[in-house]
Amino acid sequence: MAALRALRSGLDFMYLAAGVLAALCLISILTLIVLQMVARWTGEVFPGAPDYAGYAMAAASFLAFANALNRGSHIRVSILLNAVPDKVRRWLEIWCFGIGAATMWYFVWNARKFVYWSWKFNDISQGQDKTPLWIPQSLMLFGAIMLAIALTDHLIHVIFRGDHRITRDLEDQAQGE
């Protein structure tokens, strides 16, 4: 039991850490935009700033997915799930998490090959920054792995416990729904 608690704590920490990295990517986007504005006002050039902001946006999106899933921030259409009996609901959730996890692991498998070939052929961006593309692609891959793990985690939890671990913040529900 202690090993399972340690695993649960580790997974929750990984999801939170990925969310923090996503927030840092958003802060870097803000910083890049401000630096580019200052450079334009002073007559200087900041080559590659839009490219770096784009890389940070892709990284932020993928890194935030697992944390958002655990916090209930993803859009879930639960009208059908709320209308069916508990046994049917459990099977529908197993089906949904199963399809989601399988899709994400398929994405991870192909994204891994994509990153590998970018690294192997030393593929660089076509912008002024000449960044090796495997670097920003690796951040995207890491976020995709985190989401695949989170979906698998919830799938296993639904199978063995009968419910998922997604919790919704009541304030978020009041604002968004």
- The H or E element that residue 100 is part of is helix 86-120
Tell me what pLDDT residue 101 has.
Answer: 96
Which residue ranges make up each domain of the chain?
A: 2-176
- Report DSSP state, residue 73: -
Q: Is the pLDDT of residue 143 over 70?
A: yes
- Tens-digit pLDDT profile for residues 119-133: 999 888 887 778 888
Strand partners, 124: 132
Q: Is the pLDDT of residue 41 over 60?
A: yes
Tell me what pLDDT residue 148 has.
Answer: 96
Cα gap 166→155, rounded to integer Å: 11
- Tens-digit pLDDT profile for residues 154-166: 999 999 987 777 7
